[in-house]
Amino acid sequence: MYIERLKKFGDQLQCVVTLTEDLAKELSERADRQLKAGVYHGPLHGIPWGAKDLLAVHGYPTTWGTKPYIDQKFEEDATVVKRLGDAGAVLVAKLTLGELAMGDVWYGGQTKNPWKLDQGSSGSSAGPASATAAGLVGFSIGSETLGSISAPSTRCGVTGLRPTFGRVSRAGAMALSWSMDKLGPICRSVEDCALILRVIQGKDNLDPTVYEAPFNYDATTKASQLKIGYIKSAFDATENHATKAFDDAALEVLQKLGAKLVEVELPADYPIAALRIILNAEAGAAFDELTRSEKIHDMKRQEANAWPNSFRVSQLTPAVEYINANRVRALVMKAMAETMKNIDVLVTPTTAANQLVLTNMTGNPAVIIPNGFNEDGTPVSLTFLGKLFGEAEALELAKAYQDATEFHTKHPEAFA
C-alpha cells in the first residue's frame, strides 16, 4: 500500500529520490515469516519508513540531493538503516533533501509542503517531513546541522526529534559538519519519536563521537513532575508576532497541565550568529574535493548563498577565526549547561532569535511539534529543549502537551 501511495503522490510532492521496492518486498516478506514463526521484534516490526537520501543503503544510489553524486553507491548500510532493519522496519523509499543538506531544492526540483502545494517543504530534511506529513511513510529519518529537522517539521506539521549530538551514530551518513551533524526521527507523534530513538541510539564502534547514555523515557510522566522553564523574551518578542497567539495559548495549556513555568533566558552575551563560521568552514572542508573540481558547476543552485559559493568562500577562512569561534562556542556550551542546570525542559517558540544556531552549537536535543494552523492552513510549531542527553524529559513534556491538544492528529486533506 505504501509503495503505491509513494508512486501516486511522490511526483506531486517531489519527495522521493528512489523507491526501494525490491528491498521493501524482501523486508516485508521476512517480517511476515518471522511473525508466523512467533518472532516479533517490537513496535517497528513491519512498519514502512523512508530515509533521507544522505543515508547509505546497499544496492541503491545515495545522491545527497545533487547531480555530482547522482550515481554514488556504498557497499554498507548506514548504522541507523541497519538498526531499523534489525527492528523489523521496512525501508520503502529514499527521500529528498536539499542539495548537500541545504534547503528543499534538489536536482529533481523542489519538495512540496503537503498542506500547501505551491510552497516548498523547507529544508533540508524536506522529503522526510513531506512524506511523513502526507502519510506516504510511517516515519522517516532526517538529519540536522542547523535547522534541518526543525524547519521542515514546522513547515509540514509533523513531530521532529533532534537528538543530542553524540546520541545517534552517523556512520554511513553524509558528513556536512563533523562537530554539528545529528540524525533523528520525523514522525506523526512524540510517542513514535521515542520508539525510534530507542532503536537507533547508542554506540556502534564506527562513529567515535557517540556516547552511551541512558534513555529512560516514561510516557506516563506528568507536566507537574518536571521542572519547566520558558524563554520569556522569546514569547514576548515582536518578531514572533505571526505565532504569538499560538505561543501564548501553549503556555496556558502547560499551566493547565500543572506545569510551574520558570522564566529563563538563553545565553545572550556572545556573538551567536557569528558562530555559523564553524559550519561553513567544516562544510567547506567536507567538500573540498568537489569545490576544486568542475563538478561543482553541476549543482542546481548557484546563487550567492548556496553551497558552491559558500564552499569557495570557506577556502579563505583563516584558521585563527575558526579556532576562536570554537573557543567562544565552548563558553556558550558552558553557559547553556548553567542555564539548564535547574530545569528539565525549556519551552520556546521555534522561531526564537538565535535559538537554532545556539542549540545546534551546544548539541542540546529538541522536540518540535505542531502547535496550530495559520489562516492559510499551514502549520506552526513549538519547541521543547532538553539538557544534553535529556531527550526523555523533553519527549515526556511534549507528549503531555500533545495529549492535551489535537494538532498532531490533523492531516493534509489532499493526502488523507
Task: Check if the beta carbon of residue 404 is closer than 8 Å to that of residue 253.
Answer: yes
| Residue in 191, 196, 188 with CA at minimum distance from that of residue 85 | 196
| Residue in 6, 154, 27 with CA at minimum distance from that of residue 81 | 27
148 has catalytic annotation: yes
Beta bridge pairs of residue 10: none
User: Within its chain, how far is the Cα of 296 from the centroid?
Assistant: 26
Angstrom distance (rounded) from CA 152 to CA 158: 8
Q: Which residues of 325-361 are buried (b: 16+ CB within 10 A; e: fewer)?
A: beebbeebbebbeebbeebbbbbbbbbbbbbbbbbbb
CB within 8 Å of 102: residues ≥ 6 apart: 123, 124, 301, 306, 307
CB atoms within 10 A of CB 75: 7
Phi, then psi, of 358 in degrees rounded to 5 = -60, -50
28 has catalytic annotation: no
Beta bridge pairs of residue 264: 231
Annotated active-site residue in 121, 124, 177, 310: 124
Q: Is 93 exposed, middle or buried (0-12, 13-18, 19+ CB in 10 A)?
A: buried
Annotated active-site residue in 148, 150, 169, 177: 148
- Secondary structure (DSSP) of 67-80: GGGTT-B-SS--HH
293 has catalytic annotation: no
Question: What cell does 329 get?
Answer: 562556542
Catalytic residues: 52, 124, 148
